[in-house]
């Protein structure tokens, strides 16, 4: 029975350390706030964060070091508006 437990694959979540999970949670919360914030100020704060410099998240999330990797990805998904 113990040998069977060793063969179990780790859960998807277990593949990521606490820093990656925390970074992802912050980004997901900003996306959520952007889409359903009660005030324009809260919505704009979330948009500013998502469009801003992502250097604190670059290393943690393996983003390009130019700090725009997340922003470009969110634009591809049409989560944040494309630049004019």
User: Tell me, what's the pLDDT at 3?
Assistant: 52
Q: For residues 35 and 10, what is the distance between their CA atoms, to the nearest angstrom?
A: 33
Q: For residues 57 and 61, what is the distance between their CA atoms, to the nearest angstrom?
A: 6
Q: For residues 6 and 65, what is the distance between their CA atoms, to the nearest angstrom?
A: 37
pLDDT digit string (tens) for 14-62? 777 888 888 888 888 988 888 887 888 888 898 888 888 777 777 777 7
54 burial (CB, 10 Å; 0-12 / 13-18 / 19+) is: buried
Q: For residues 7 and 4, what is the distance between their CA atoms, to the nearest angstrom?
A: 5
Q: Where are the domains of the chain?
A: 17-76
């Amino acid at each position: 029975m113990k040998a069977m437990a060793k063969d179990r694959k780790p859960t998807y979540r277990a593949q990521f350390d606490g820093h990656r999970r925390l970074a992802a949670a912050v980004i997901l919360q900003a996306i959520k706030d952007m889409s359903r914030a009660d005030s324009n100020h809260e919505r704009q704060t979330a948009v500013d964060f998502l469009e801003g410099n992502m250097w604190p998240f670059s290393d943690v999330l393996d983003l390009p070091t130019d700090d725009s990797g997340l922003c470009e990805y969110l634009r591809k998904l049409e989560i944040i508006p494309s630049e004019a």
